[in-house]
Amino acid sequence: MILEDLFLASTQGREPEQLYQPIEYTLMQSGKRIRPQLVQLSTKLFGGDPTQAIYIGAAFEMLHNFTLIHDDIMDKAPIRRGKETVYKKWDSNIAILSGDALANMALQQILKADIACEPKFRIIDLFINTSLEVCEGQQYDLNFETMDNVMIEEYLTMIRLKTAVMLAGCLKAGAVLSEASLEDQDAIYRFGIELGIAFQLKDDLLDLYADHELFGKKKGMDIQDNKKTYLYLQALQDASPEQCQELVSLFSNNIVDFNEKLNRVIEIYELLQIKEKIEAVADRYIENALTMLNTVNQPVEKKNDLREMTLQLCKRTK
């Protein structure tokens, strides 16, 4: 069974349709499917059963999409993957309910996997902890909106929880499914954390510097929403007192014309070479990830697929 067939089977014919249509709409969009890919690649690395890994991958993909449905409500985001977000296409109440339902449907997928009880329980525990940590990360992100001073280390903690633990959880789930050693489970998880932080830093850059027809989101949404991303925090750290004061004013004022605000922020970022600096930070996390991957006790050639995917993610344009 392929992933899309599994998704369709979980939604088609279910009532009330107002609950399940938004779920199907979300799951059938052409997302990157990074999370199920990571489950499959980890399962392959450790010699597990790929036919059962599809259920675990589906669970994490459903969980990821649940977070997106709710994130879009909180961020008031109109577009995702080039299409209307669920709350814009239906409304916020339907989006909240559909997201809640999707989170529960995700857990059901793990129960479908035909694997021994002990690894299944450990995957469920990992999945629940990952869900909670993602919520913690989202709360930190919300807290930052009303904080005058956010440290770069605090931002890194937030993205580790909001983004990286999901990728790390997918990788560890494949290792648990395959009954890999505890040392390898830990190593592949830490690889995922480093990869996930690099992935989010790349996402921060793409918000501003991507081809936005490919990226599927409006350019500069983080700036429009006054998000304190790594770009902004690095700029504050490197700016002159005058530039710092202007940035703080721009990121606290929603009355300024958005295009004027966007263009001025970009000008300041370019003067401070923020794009190049954040790219260098992301590259360091990629290097850390590959170093951690090297510690996994498997032949080098078996790790090539994960190494290649890591390099592709750091070069992505959407």
Residue 59 has pLDDT above 80, yes or no: yes
Judge whether 39 lies within some domain: no
Do residue 59 and residue 164 come from a single domain? Answer: no
Do residue 145 and residue 265 come from a single domain? Answer: yes
Domains contained in the chain, number: 2
What is the β-pairing status of strands 79-80 and 83-84? antiparallel
Do residue 180 and residue 311 come from a single domain? Answer: yes
Do residue 137 and residue 110 come from a single domain? Answer: no
Q: The domain containing residue 184 runs over which residues?
A: 126-318
How many Cα atoms within 13 Å fall on the side-chain side of residue 194?
A: 20
For 20-52, write each residue's pLDDT tens digit: 999 999 999 867 899 999 999 999 999 999 999
- Residue 103: CATH number of its domain: 1.10.600.10
For 193-233, write each residue's pLDDT tens digit: 999 999 999 999 999 997 766 655 678 989 988 999 999 99
Do residue 102 and residue 130 come from a single domain? Answer: no
For 130-167, write each residue's pLDDT tens digit: 999 999 999 999 999 889 899 999 999 999 999 999 99
Judge whether 38 lies within some domain: no
122 Cβ contact partners less than 8 Å away, ≥ 6 residues apart: 176
Judge whether 40 lies within some domain: no
Do residue 71 and residue 199 come from a single domain? Answer: no
Quote the pTM value.
0.94
Single residue among 114, 134, 164 that ends a domain in this structure: 114
Single residue among 114, 135, 165 that ends a domain in this structure: 114
Q: What is the mean pLDDT of the chain?
A: 93
Do residue 191 and residue 234 come from a single domain? Answer: yes
Single residue among 114, 147, 163 that ends a domain in this structure: 114
Do residue 61 and residue 202 come from a single domain? Answer: no
Do residue 162 and residue 106 come from a single domain? Answer: no
